[in-house]
Amino acid sequence: MSASVLRDHLIWAMVHAFDEGKGIEAQSLLNELKGLGPEQAAWQPPGTGPSIWTSLNHVAVWEEKILKLTRGERVDFNSAWPQPDEITQQAWKNDVEHLKAIHAKLIAHLNTLSDGDLTQQVLNDDSHDFDWAMAYTGLVVHMAYHTGQIRMLKLLQGVEEE
């Protein structure tokens, strides 16, 4: 595989936005989830708004959509905020591990792409015009946005940093 500056930058961004201990100016997603119990993750603010858990599941849905595109599958770009099936430690752990597994598969896919590949259009349908670099950049921005929301939900609950 030839050197790919763009790919290396996208991998760096994906890792630093996601992996524990990798955040630079802000916490990574896994850092924000560290130490949370299922009740804290399922807590919703008064009024409307997602819980930490539904935000995690929402990020997983979008990462799954891009993973499907890597396999040449068509995807529906409608948003989804899946609720947890049950509020237990095991269910929380399973959903976090599910997201980690999807993320690892995306990093593996990204590692196979050259700069030329990254500028190739992602084939889905005529209504969405983007290339692989845009898809991965979108995942990083999306993850960072929801990591910030998760941070605020923790603050609203009075969850202390470790």
* Residue 124 binned pLDDT confidence (cut-offs 50, 70, 90): low
Q: Compare 119 and 22 and report the one with higher pLDDT.
A: 119
> Does the pLDDT value for residue 131 go beyond 60?
yes
Burial annotation 45-76 (CB, 10 A radius, 16+ → b, else e): eeeeebbbbbbbbbbbbbbbbbbebbeeeebe
Q: Which amino acid is at 4?
A: S
> Does the pLDDT value for residue 135 go beyond 60?
yes
* Residue 1 binned pLDDT confidence (cut-offs 50, 70, 90): very low
* Interval 43-93: pLDDT, tens: 998 887 899 999 999 999 999 999 999 998 888 888 899 999 999 999 999
